[in-house]
Amino acid sequence: MSAELDVLIPTYRRPAALAVTLATLLGQSFSDFRVIVSNQTEDPDPPAGEVEAVVRVLRAHGHEVQTLRHLPRRGLAEQRQFLLDRSSSPYVLYLDDDLILEPWVLGQMLGALRELAIGFVGCAVIGLSYLDDVRPDQQRIELWEGPVEPEEVRPDSPAWERHKLHNAANLYHVQRKLGVQPTTLRAYRVAWVGGCVLYDSAKLRAAGSFQFWRELPPEHSGEDVLAQLRVMSRFGGCGLIPSGVYHQELPTTVPHREFDAPRMLPAAAQGAGAALCREELAG
């Protein structure tokens, strides 16, 4: 049975972190969601006990949970497309496997996306180990004062500098300074948002989704950035403050970053697949 929201989680060699992330979904005030996990860990061992335990509790709470093994690895863009192809919900939340969410995050993100009627909203992840590392030169924020409009953001453009706001604990410091609360949620301009991004499914598909995976080598990075740039240029996208999403601050599972998707491919959907999706959206 389809839910209003599908939570899509790509994972690789992080059973304990994944279990923590799944556990934070249990306390969400919004409950009409399904979880789809795509695991690309090569080891043929049985599923990790800590993950299976949380999955059982999620199912006991009425959530459908799919845990899929998806091999061989062809890169994160293909992994994200694989997840999207298994989704049938009007909204999809791409969630990294090493995050901790406040209980209000899903509900607030979905409410904001509906109200703004744009392509995506994101809650940038905060690293609380940097709580005492205050960086005023990286804390500039551009709040949307009116409707969120489509924007074209290119690598190394002035707007690209917005990504610095998401470094370390910058966003935490800014939201404390502004005094924003979940009840006074604000939208702000972004270059991109990493880790926790909610899309309107039809608009993501209309922008080509992650079909560009075939144009990238398996060892790549920035696939989420490229998808957001394409959605944002067509439909608009924004960050939300306060964020309420925290990083577990584990070592990256993407060590090779020579092939950066937004620098390799154009930040605009191209080809027959995107045109077909546009027709579906219009219909």
One-character DSSP codes across 13-77: S-HHHHHHHHHHHHT-S---EEEEEEE-----SPPPHHHHHHHHHHHHTT--EEEEE--S---HH
Enumerate the β-bridge partners of residue 82: none
pTM, two decimals, is 0.92
Cα dihedral 31, 36, 41, 45 sign: positive
> What is the distance of C-alpha 228 from the center of its chain?
9
Q: What is the pLDDT of residue 164?
A: 97
Q: In the 8-state DSSP scheme, what is residue 104? A: T
Q: What is the pLDDT along the chain (283 residues), one digit of tens a residue?
A: 679 999 999 998 889 999 999 999 999 999 999 999 999 887 756 567 899 999 999 999 999 999 998 778 787 899 999 999 999 999 999 999 999 999 999 999 999 999 999 999 999 999 999 999 999 999 999 999 999 999 999 999 999 999 999 999 999 999 999 999 999 999 999 999 999 999 999 999 999 999 998 999 888 888 999 999 999 999 999 999 999 999 999 987 666 667 888 898 988 654 434 443 433 344 3
The values of phi and psi at residue 49, to 5°, are -60, -40
Measured between alpha carbons, how far is 270 from 83 in angstroms, rounded to an integer? 21
Q: Which domains does the chain have, with CATH numbers?
A: 5-282 (3.90.550.10)
pLDDT of residue 30: 97
In the structure encoding, which two tokens stand for residue 258, read together? Answer: 């020579």
Return the pLDDT at 274. Answer: 41
In angstroms, rounded to a whole number, what is the distance separating the alpha carbons of residues 255 and 131? 25
